[in-house]
Structure 1
Amino acid sequence: MGRSFACAGRGLWRALRAERNLRIHLAATALVFSLAPFYPFDRGDWALLFLACGLVWGAELLNTAVERLCDRVCPDRDRAIGWVKDAAAGGVLACAVFAAGAGVCLFADPAGLRALGAAIATPLGAGAALALLAALGLFVLCGGKRKDDKTHF
C-alpha cells in the first residue's frame, strides 16, 4: 500500500512540474482556501469546496495521463487521437466551469465579502494579499520543469 501512495505522489509531483494548467489549478485552490476562512462556511460548504477542487484536480490529472498516452501511442497527427485528447480536455473544462459556479455560490455571501474586505483594508492584510498573489503568479509562471531535468513524465 505504501508503494502505491509513493507512485501516486510521484505522479502528482511530476505532473505539477510539467503541466502549467495543473499549476494554475493549484494556485486557484490555494486562493480559494486562503479566502475561505473569512466566510461563515459550515461543514457542507467546506465539503463542497474540497469536492469541487478535488474534481478539477482529478480531471486535470486524468487529462494529462490521456494526452501523454496518446502522444506515446501515436506521435503523428491523427484525427481519432485528436478527438480523444479534445474530449479529455473538455472534461477538465466542464469540471472547472461547474467548480467555479459552486465557488461563486459560496463566495458571493455579503457577510463573507465584508469580512474579507475589512481584513484586506488593513496594511498587513493588503501586504499579505499582495504577497500571496505574487507568489501564486510566480509559481504558475516559473514553477515548471527545468530544461536540464531528465525526469521522464
Structure 2
Amino acid sequence: MAPATRTSGMEFEVFLSFRGPDTRRDFTSCLYREMVEKGIRVFKDDEELRVGEKIEGELLQALEDTQIYIPIFSKGFASSRWCLREVSHMIDCTLKSEGKKDILPLFFDVEPEDVKLKTELYRNALSKHAEKYGPDEVKCWEAALVEVATRVGWKREGKE
C-alpha cells in the first residue's frame, strides 16, 4: 500500500465517529480498511489513540485536524457521551472552517428523523444524559444532532 500524501494540510482526511458496540467490529472496521487501502488518511479511535494519551484532548485535536467527518449514526449512538461531544465539535469546526470542512452523515439502522429527535430513540438517550450532564450540555448536543441530520447522507441497513 502506498503511503498517503498530505494534500489538504490536515492531519486526517476523514474522521469516523461511531459507537463501538454498534458498528466497530464489522461495518466501521471494513469502511476504515477500504479507505486506508485507497490512500485516505482516516482517524479511527482504536487505530490512532495510544495507551497513556488523554482521550479527550486527542479526540478534539483530531477533529480539528480533519477535513471530512463521517458520523455513523446507529441505534446506540446517542447513548454515548463521547459520540455526542464529537458531533458537537464537528459542527463547531465546520462553522469555523469557512467551507473547508464537511460532515457526511451515515445512518446505520436509524432514520434521519431519529437523529433529528423526531422519534423517541435519541430523545430517550438524551433525557438520561440531562440528568447526569445538565440541560445546557444536552441542548448543545441536541442542536448538533439536528443540524447534522439535515444534511444529505447515506443510509445503511444491516446488523453487525
Taking structure 2 as the reference length, what is the TM-score of the superposition? 0.28
Taking structure 1 as the reference length, what is the TM-score of the superposition? 0.29
Task: Return the structure number with greater helix share.
Answer: 1
Higher relative contact order (CA 8 A, sep 6+): 1
Task: Return the structure number with greater strand share.
Answer: 2
